[in-house]
Chain A
Amino acid sequence: MGKLFEKFPDPLARLIVVVVAMIALGAFAYFVLIPKPVKDIDFQWADAVKREKARPVRYAGFQACEECHGEIQIKKVTGYHKDLSCETCHGPAKAHTEDPDKVKPTIPTARTFCPQCHAYNPSRPRGFPQINPVAHNPLKPCTSCHNPHDPKPPTTPKECSACHGEIARMKAVSHHVQLECTVCHQAPQQHKISPRSVKPTKPQTREFCGKCHGKDATDKLAKNAPKIDMGVHGEKYVCWQCHYPHSPEVEQ
Chain B
Amino acid sequence: MNPELIRSLQELLPQIQGYIYPNEIEIHWGLLIVVYPYITGVVAGAFILASLVKVFNVKEVQPLYRLSLLTALAYLLVAPMALVSHLGHPERFYEILLTPQTSSAMAMFGFVYAWYLMAVLLLEIWFVHRTDMIDMAERSKGATRLLYRALSLFSRDKGERAVAFDHKALKVITIVGIPSAFLLHGYVGFIFGSIKANPWWSSVLIPIVFLFSAIVSGIALVVLLYMIITPLTGGKINMKCVDKSVDFLFYAVIVDFSLEMVDFIHRVYQSEEEIKILSEMVMSKLFSSLIIIQVLLGMLIPLLLISLTKIFKKRFSLNEDMRKMVYFISVILIQFGIFATRWNVVIGGQLFSKSFRGLTTYKMGFGGIEGLLYAIFLLALPIAILFVLLKLLPPWKELREEGEVGTEAAGAGV
Contact = CB atoms under 8 A, between A and B. Distances in A.
Interface stretch (B152-160, B269-277, B395-403): B152-160
- Interface SS of B by simple majority: helix
Contacts of A232: none
Interface string A24-62: 000000100010001111001000000000000000000
A38 B127 CA distance: 37
A39 B162 CA distance: 41
A67 interface: no
B171 to A, nearest CB: 14
Contact of A10 (B99, B123, B155): B155
B165 A12 contact: yes
B155 A11 contact: yes
A11 B157 contact: yes
A39 B94 CA distance: 10
Contacts of B165: 9-12
B98 A39 contact: yes
A53 to B, nearest CB: 22
A14 B99 contact: no
Interface string B154-180: 111101011011100100000000000
A183 B153 CA distance: 103
Contact of A15 (B153, B154, B156): B153
B162 A11 contact: yes
Contacts of B159: 10
B130 interface: yes
A18 interface: yes
Interface residues of B, number: 18
Nearest to B152: A14
Contacts of B162: 9-11
A41 B130 contact: no
A18 to B, nearest CB: 6
Contacts of A14: 153-155
Given A11-B166, A12-B169, A38 B98 contact: yes
Nearest to A10: B157
Most buried by B among A11, A18, A34: A11
A30 B100 CA distance: 14
A38 to B, nearest CB: 6
Contacts of A15: 123, 153
A33 to B, nearest CB: 11
Contacts of B130: 11
A11 B99 CA distance: 34
A38 B99 CA distance: 8
Contact of A11 (B98, B101, B169): B169
A9 B163 CA distance: 9
Contacts of B155: 10-11, 14
B99 A44 contact: yes
Interface in A102-150: none
Contacts of B161: 9-10
A14 B157 CA distance: 11
Nearest to A44: B99
A10 B123 CA distance: 15
Contacts of A41: 99, 101
Contacts of A17: 153
A17 B127 CA distance: 16
Nearest to A9: B165
A238 B207 CA distance: 60
A15 B154 CA distance: 11
Most buried by B among A10, A17, A38: A10
Contacts of A44: 99
B137 to A, nearest CB: 14
Contacts of A38: 98
B98 A34 contact: yes
Nearest to B156: A10
Interface string A1-28: 0000000011110110110000000000
B173 to A, nearest CB: 11
Nearest to A39: B98
Contact of A18 (B98, B99, B153): B153
Nearest to B154: A14
A52 B297 CA distance: 53
A12 B172 CA distance: 13
A34 B95 CA distance: 12
Interface in B87-143: 98-99, 101, 123, 127, 130
A44 B101 CA distance: 13
Interface string A87-114: 0000000000000000000000000000
A99 B412 CA distance: 87
Nearest to A43: B99
B118 to A, nearest CB: 8
Given A14-B155, A30-B98, A44-B99, 11 more contacts: A9-B157, A9-B161, A9-B164, A10-B161, A10-B162, A10-B165, A11-B157, A15-B123, A38-B98, A39-B99, A40-B99
29 contacts: A9-B157, A9-B161, A9-B162, A9-B164, A9-B165, A10-B156, A10-B157, A10-B165, A11-B127, A11-B130, A11-B153, A11-B157, A11-B162, A11-B166, A12-B165, A12-B169, A14-B153, A14-B154, A14-B155, A17-B153, A18-B153, A30-B98, A38-B98, A39-B98, A39-B99, A40-B99, A41-B99, A41-B101, A44-B99
Which 7 pairs of residues, A with B, have the shortest CB-CB distance? Answer: A10-B157, A9-B165, A14-B153, A10-B162, A39-B98, A41-B99, A9-B162
